[in-house]
A = this chain, B = another copy of it.
């Protein structure tokens, strides 16, 4: 039914359409790729492919264009991820190595990815929930006001100003700090609630109200900020692609954290690439776009995800190569810092 030659034809159609952005006809195919058969034969194959929904013709007397299903088959079975050139690898490395803190790592990564793929790059901040507490700091600001700072092993810092029920002296601050750190140091963020459940009971009556307030803020921070921050870059590349229709929708989607969350949300194996094509996307405004995502993390835990959004008609092998490479390098950087 779908023999090898038909697959070869489909591959050729995808490749040509991606590079020319014009519906591709049987003659052009026969010329450009040496398939060893005549245009007429190709026409027959095309008819079969269309019958099965892999390609589609915009109007009679036009060439064929791959459907989402066609791209899917292409990605799954007909293409190989294309590794980056040595020069590109080196560029990534030096560019990312210059980053001094988490913010900058993320910012540089997203720009890098956008530039590399000439599309829109999306990067999620390393997850709080999957990282561990490295340190808790309590900074007195006034008698009844402190700043609470949570530092994680991924270099992320969360801070909140807290108003306390009682005034509190430096010595008690030091004590609470010591207690909190003893309880939480190295603790996975998702385990924090368990770890601190009985903490107030172990404290003096004097310390208890303050501790309760602090703990509730800590827990709140962990929950509220569970919605992870996501940034994007390269919107200008959208305008270059001939996105005439729907550009507005795409821009809107990019500014909606929720939509981005859902885009990235799917869990996949680390170093496994996820490709979402056209109508496979969870959001209506993103029909017509495809999304290539990968998880990244320090060591072997997946901390967060990043990806690239572009027209359905994108160069999948190259894009996938770039995403995979960048994800790996970011992981290395995070592990090394």
- Which residues of A does B touch, CB under 8 Å? 100-101, 134-135, 137, 139-141, 147, 149, 151, 155, 157, 159-161, 233-236, 238-240, 247-249, 251-252, 254-255, 337
Contact = CB atoms under 8 A, between A and B. Distances in A.
Given A147-B135, A235-B255, A159 B160 contact: no
In order of increasing CB-CB distance, the 7 nearest A-B pairs are A239-B248, A236-B251, A236-B252, A239-B247, A235-B251, A137-B139, A157-B159
A155 B139 CA distance: 13
Contacts of A248: 236, 239-240
A235 B235 CA distance: 9
A293 to B, nearest CB: 21
A248 B147 CA distance: 43
A160 B101 contact: yes
Contacts of A159: 101, 149, 151, 157
Contacts of A238: 251
Contacts of A252: 236
Contacts of A140: 135
Given A233-B255, A236-B252, A240-B248, 13 more contacts: A100-B160, A101-B159, A134-B141, A135-B141, A137-B139, A139-B151, A149-B157, A155-B161, A235-B235, A236-B251, A239-B247, A239-B251, A247-B247
A159 B255 CA distance: 27
Contacts of A139: 135, 137, 149, 151
Looking at A100, A236, A254, the one whose CB has the most chain B CB atoms below 10 A away is A236
Nearest to A233: B255
Contacts of A254: 235
A137 B249 CA distance: 45
Contacts of A239: 247-248, 251
Contacts of A149: 137, 139, 149, 157, 159
A137 B134 contact: no
